[in-house]
Amino acid sequence: MGAGARVTTACSSRAEGPPPIIDAHAHVGSGFAPWRGGVDAADDLAATARDCGIDRVLVSCLGRDGLLEHPSPAELTEANLIARRAVSEHPELAGLVYVSPDHPRASLDEIERHIVDGPFVGLKLWIARKATDPDVGPLVERAAALGVPVLQHTWDKFVDGFPGESGAADIAELARRHPGAILQAAHLVGLGRRGVDTVAPYPNLLVDSSGGDAVEGQVEYAVRTLGADRVVFGTDAPLRDVHAALAKITRAAIDDAAAALVLGGNAARHYRRLAQGGQVRR
């Protein structure tokens, strides 16, 4: 993707039918216990998506048995293989490669394995280092070159923050440095209105609605400030209730066209490999 990638309002060409609903932020891994009778959390995530009318769920695995802030290269590989297996077993799921700036070389290898040679549709960065860390740059540039978005954990916390945790200002700076990359800032509730204001000037930066409580008026504010084309639906399941996360959008005071973009139109447009079926593309 060349410099100056910009979120646009145009929907991807799509056959007749209802607009897609895409959960752009969820997780798998055996650290999440199944909650509704499935063999594992991926089973229950897929079943819940079907019940809720969610077409696709973008999942990353942040560790086999728990959420690893600083995974080793071997742990990254293991985590991504868990996500790969979940994706292969559940057509509702699509994969995001967990990468870490602690291990740039190994992370680039993971990208090759699961995006270039595999079906995954984007990258996931968590809290190993802030988004402004120099070692994040090559990973984001690789994503931009492949035309896949980067989901970056963000949360501007007043208490209980993690050392490597990024906030709105961090991902805004990342977006400034890499205008050719499409970035997805996680957790609208963790950014708040101030965070939305901070990321607003960067058109290559989306915000997802996942995580935390459904603060009244927050989705409306994000849509009003960023435009409906820069807000994407996410749940952060299985950490959160999918029904409630979905209702943040369906119960928001936004018009139907905006809701369609947020619920899936935007994700479909930017996670282009979803439509390509994750085909190998060198």
Partner 1 sequence: MSASGARGAGVGAPERRDVKDACCWVGPGPHLDGRHADALSAAPLRELLRRGGIAAGLVSPAAGLTARTQEEADAANATLATLPVGGPLVPAPVVAVGADADPEVAGRSVIRLAATGARAVRIRLDATVPGDAAAGTACLVRRTCAAVGLPLVVHVRVADPRCVPALPGLDECGDAAIAMVARAAPGVPLLVTGVPNGRHDGLLALHPDVVVDTAFLDGPDAVRRLVARAGADRVAFSGHAPYLSPGAGLAKVHGLSEEDARAVLGGTLASFGIAADRR
Give the residues lining the site for partner 1 (CB under 8 A). Answer: 18, 21, 35-36, 44, 48, 50-54, 155, 157-161, 189-190, 192-193, 212-217, 221, 237-253, 263
Give the phi and the psi of residue 165 in degrees, each rounded to 5.
Answer: -75, 135
**Which two tokens mark 59?**
């999942």
The helix/strand/coil state of 121 is coil
Pick the closer one to partner 1 by CB: 44 or 229.
Answer: 44
Least distance CB 122 / partner 1 (angstroms): 22
Pick the closer one to partner 1 by CB: 10 or 33.
Answer: 33
Least distance CB 1 / partner 1 (angstroms): 30
Pick the closer one to partner 1 by CB: 193 or 272.
Answer: 193
Pick the closer one to partner 1 by CB: 143 or 246.
Answer: 246
Least distance CB 170 / partner 1 (angstroms): 16
Least distance CB 71 / partner 1 (angstroms): 24
Pick the closer one to partner 1 by CB: 176 or 251.
Answer: 251
Residues in the chain: 282
Contacts of 118 (CB under 8 A, 6+ apart): 84, 95, 278, 280
Instruction: Give the residues across from 183 on adjacent strands.
Output: 150, 205
Q: Tell how far CA 119 is from the center of its chain.
A: 16
Query: Using CB atoms within 10 A of its CB, is residue 141 exposed (0-12), middle (13-18) or buried (19+)?
Result: middle
Least distance CB 155 / partner 1 (angstroms): 7
